[in-house]
A and B are shown apart, each in its own frame.
Chain A
Amino acid sequence: MLSNKRTIVFLVVPGLLVIFAGIVFPILMSVYLSVTDQQGAGAATFVGLRNYIQIFTADKTFWISVLHSLILALGLICIQHPLCMLFAILLDKIGGKAEKIFRVLLFVPNVISIMVTAKMWQNIFNATFGMLNKLLAAVGLSALCQNWLGDPKFVLGCVIFIVMWQGFGYGMLIYYAGVKGISQDINEACEIDGARGLTKFFRVTLPLLLPVIIVNVTLAIISALKEMEIVYLITDGGPGISSQFPALYLYQMAFRNYKYGYANAISVVFVAICLIVTYFYNRALKARDA
């Protein structure tokens, strides 16, 4: 119905134009500038694949920052997600008013601006007046007090912790929806067959949550790759490059070193990495729906 060409063009083209202007055209421009050596406002000369060759063969910082993203993703998947899942199940169990109250409360850190969260944790981890060191001193563990954000050994851990803290509610909510999606019949069948506790969790709940887990794991990888605001605001990638992330590295290359050509090449590689992850995500989804 109403499928004549003019109507369709009329409906589709304006919306696509916005996406084109905001996302596609900039990326194409990135591709174009990535084969030049443009710096700041200077003229661009064509340098072929030199920038790419440098990224793949000589740029250690970039790959270390990608590695940091992967460590973050691993942290999210191995530590945050099991907690999210556990609390989703606990919420479902507690029921009633408490279920709603806790669900609403645990999501609050997600609503707070990343700017506020970043400044807050920067103050908490502060070596001289931070809450964490005070807390350690108060329970007699002053030996554990650290210059948390100034020590290359701890800074990445701190960043991962902050990301986990902020994203916890989001992940939990998705698992919660998954737990709620398990039908009452199945719960009753478990009751009758005497499946309870851990047995029920491993034999029934976990397999049924598998689709949600796939979605959540992919989201974790993507959001780990996208991580930038927290490191930008708290550590600026430092000390050294011990908390460097790809998006921040790209930003610094562009807006501090004015290496536009090189920064754009990083952009393109970065988009490619995200598209590869998306490809595997779609395959996993297809397997799920099949």
Chain B
Amino acid sequence: MKKYSAAISNEAERRKKKLGRMFLWAVLLIFAVFQFFPMLWVVDFSLAKDNQLFGSEILIWPSEPQWENYVLAWTNGHVLQYTLNSLFVVLCTIAITVFFSLTLGYAFTRMRWKHAGMVLSFVLLGMMIPIHTTLLPNFLIYKRLHMLDTPWALILPYSAFSIPLGVFIMTGFLNSLPASLEEAAVLDGCGVMRIIFQIALPLTKSAVATIAVMTFINNWNEFIMACTFIGTPDWKTLPFSVYEFAGQYTSRYAVQFAVMVLSSIPALLVYALLNEQITKGVTYGAVKE
């Protein structure tokens, strides 16, 4: 008898658990749909005819998908050229950021010097400064130096604003790493550059990867500096595809949507490949290790 009732309560328990799980799934699914629906809407109407947007349907069934929207978007949106420009700018920024995060991080954690703590806090302050406060003075400076319309007008400020986060990640990582290997290298008479790039770099691979993806995520879609410092199509970056297209083809809604979809693909690809690293980078420092 006792066994029997236990079986019943077990059964009830299991059912309750199952119900709870279904509820959990439902809530998460609804929310995921809520987060995705706007994007789905854009993709949907990017395959429609321009005037279909004015119908009463919320989503349409693309019975005759207008692939030529994408052809037009690709050719007139300068997607390829602007992607390559973005790629050049961001890769340079990543290289500079990683290099200086390593050298600075190394000097802050492995060497003893006066005011090291103060200088470090100063560098980290950079994370809190809004880029917008430097727009006007930088514009005036780059104008004077004839740097406007060159990629360096983006690479320099992007790097300057990325290095503080890089140093933050690198110092945290180096602090948790024993210095014994490097000490051995010093005794062997290695120079400091060799120590950093031949011994420390391989050891800090995961921090370097995190810094690289965070620099990518933070700068790839940057728009306001690009639109202030760059006016020539030679160096415009990817967000301009959407911006220019919306300005030139105001009534071609479907094609605008197609440009939006196309210009999102590179970042989505990177995210698909590196989402673990990105998760790590975003949460870094928020949680005490």
A-to-B contact residues, CB < 8 Å: 1-3, 5, 7-8, 10-12, 14-16, 18-19, 21-23, 25-27, 29-30, 33, 87, 90-91, 93-94, 98, 102-116, 119-121, 123-124, 128-129, 131, 134-135, 137-138, 165, 168-170, 173-174, 176-178, 181, 211-212, 215-216, 222, 225-226, 228-229, 232-233, 247, 250-251, 254-255, 260, 263-264, 267-268, 270-271, 274-275, 277-278, 281, 289
Contacts and interface: CB of A to CB of B under 8 A. Distances in A.
Interface in B241-289: 242-243, 246, 253, 256-257, 260, 263-264, 267-268, 270-271, 275, 278-279, 282-283, 285-288
Which secondary structure dominates chain B's binding surface? helix
A12 B268 contact: no
A245 B27 CA distance: 34
A247 B132 contact: yes
A5 B278 CA distance: 37
Given A22-B134, A124-B41, A260-B140, A174 B129 contact: no
A211 B289 CA distance: 12
Contacts of A263: 136
A57 to B, nearest CB: 22
A225 B111 contact: no
A282 to B, nearest CB: 8
Nearest to B32: A105
Interface string B106-142: 1100111100000100010110111111111111110
B56 A134 contact: yes
Interface size class of B (residues with CB under 8 A): 35 or more
A274 B103 contact: no
Given A1-B186, A105-B35, A137-B56, A116 B271 contact: no
B107 A260 contact: no
Interface in B77-131: 96, 100-101, 103-104, 106-107, 110-113, 119, 123, 125-126, 128-131
B230 interface: no
Given A112-B221, A170-B282, 8 more contacts: A2-B192, A12-B107, A29-B140, A112-B264, A123-B257, A165-B38, A177-B283, A281-B128
